[in-house]
Amino acid sequence: MGIVDTISKITRLLPKEVALVAVSKTKPESAILEAYEGGQRIFGENKVQDLVRKYESLPKDIRWHFIGHLQTNKVKYIAPFISLIHAVDSMKLLMTIDKEAAKNNRTIDCLLQFYIAKEDSKFGLSYDEAVDMLQSKDFLSLKNVRIVGVMGMASFSDDSNLVRSEFSELRAIFNKLKSQFFDHKAYFKEISMGMSQDYLLALEEGTTMIRLGTSIFGYRDYTV
């Protein structure tokens, strides 16, 4: 099946509050354009250099999401145009995003990344770390970033009970943060979870944003 048919087949399964992020990392501009012409507008990338190149050459109404680990010294390259940063995992990164957003006269939406997988992962906050962050003086002084929800990656596993429990944990974290820090803040509404191999479980567990690469564009070849 082609890219456009695959996207429309997946989109038809989604409740209207669930967004599809087409993860185009490592894929050429031509593949992105094909999806774009079929109506897809949100694309996810995880390398700053690739993202900037694609942003410059592709239609300007694409909403670009940064889905990977972001180094503070690279924030400035994407700050002028990025639509959502999925994986904020430190106060230092958040403060840098705030500063670069201010220079560009904009507010940048971000998700806090949580560590939910029962496997080694270098990135993501614990619930307590997030609470410390959200209560800190530094956080209260930020003016050009907006935390619109949470993001997480489940274990890379065939054990659907495990994956389901991790997604359910992320949703519980979202609910607690919502009531403690973002009550009545309508913009705090996103739970970014679910990739090609586990998005059906994520849908059952209340995702609002699925990030699909392989199932749309096929396997990635990292050797080219």
Ligand X SMILES: *Cc1c(COP(=O)(O)O)cnc(C)c1O
Considering beta carbons, is residue 142 or 154 the nearer one to ligand X? Answer: 154
Binding flag, residue 85, ligand X (CB under 6 A): no
Binding flag, residue 196, ligand X (CB under 6 A): yes
Contact letters (x/-) for ligand X, 145-184, by CB under 6 A?
Answer: --------x-------------------------------
What's the sign of the alpha-carbon dihedral 132, 136, 138, 141?
A: positive
Question: Both tokens of residue 56?
Answer: 């410059």
Give the whole-angstrom CA distance, residue 216 versus residue 212: 7
Binding flag, residue 67, ligand X (CB under 6 A): yes
Give the whole-angstrom CA distance, residue 91 versus residue 129: 10
Give the whole-angstrom CA distance, residue 95 versus residue 217: 34
Q: Which residue is nearest to ligand X (CB)?
A: 213
Binding flag, residue 213, ligand X (CB under 6 A): yes
Give the whole-angstrom CA distance, residue 142 versus residue 95: 7
Half-sphere exposure of 119 (CA within 13 A, CB side): 9
Binding flag, residue 47, ligand X (CB under 6 A): no
Binding flag, residue 38, ligand X (CB under 6 A): no
Query: Taking contact as CB under 6 A, which single stretch among the options 57-65, 101-109, 117-125, 212-220 is the one that binds ligand X?
Result: 212-220
Residue of 24, 46, 96, 208 that binds ligand X (CB under 6 A): 46
Binding flag, residue 57, ligand X (CB under 6 A): no
Give the whole-angstrom CA distance, residue 11 versus residue 150: 22
Binding flag, residue 124, ligand X (CB under 6 A): no
Considering beta carbons, is residue 89 or 100 the nearer one to ligand X? Answer: 89
Give the whole-angstrom CA distance, residue 76 versus residue 103: 9
Binding flag, residue 123, ligand X (CB under 6 A): no
Helices in 154-218 by DSSP H: which ranges? 160-181, 199-204, 214-217
List interacting residues with ligand X (CB under 6 A).
23, 25, 46, 67-68, 153, 195-197, 211-215
